Structure 1
Amino acid sequence: MSRVEARPIAEILAEVANAVPDEVIGVEFERARRRGAEVWVYQLKIIAKDGRLLKVEVDAATDRLLVAEED
């Protein structure tokens, strides 16, 4: 059985664009500890239409939203 550790960033950005139609201005890819396990995450910096800067973390393997907060 093959295990997917990270989906391509293009797929993640397409999913995020559907959910959050604001402008992604930065992307980081890193290892993070979640629920006792290490996983790959994409950290996205997004400028909302109202000018707020948002930080969104997405599980790179599942595209599940982990964190969304103002930065």
Structure 2
Amino acid sequence: MSDNTKVLNYDPADPEKMRLPSGTACGNCHHIRRCKAMFGHTETETYCDWSPSRFIPVKTEGAVQ
């Protein structure tokens, strides 16, 4: 069993889970290229149009997760 715990992206004021996790923006998401091409999103947006949000943090080289 892993000791890693993931914080759930749940805010009672946002039941559809559309807001991105605190401190992140679309530019930090794995899907940004697709969303820019299909929907015209920008890297600075903090609200996902997918319901529920499909935000996946971009893996950075050398980062320990």
| Larger strand share, 1 or 2 | 1
Q: If the TM-score is normalised by the length of the shorter chain, which range does it land in?
A: under 0.3
- Normalised by the size of structure 2, how large is the TM-score? 0.25
Bigger radius of gyration, 1 or 2? 2
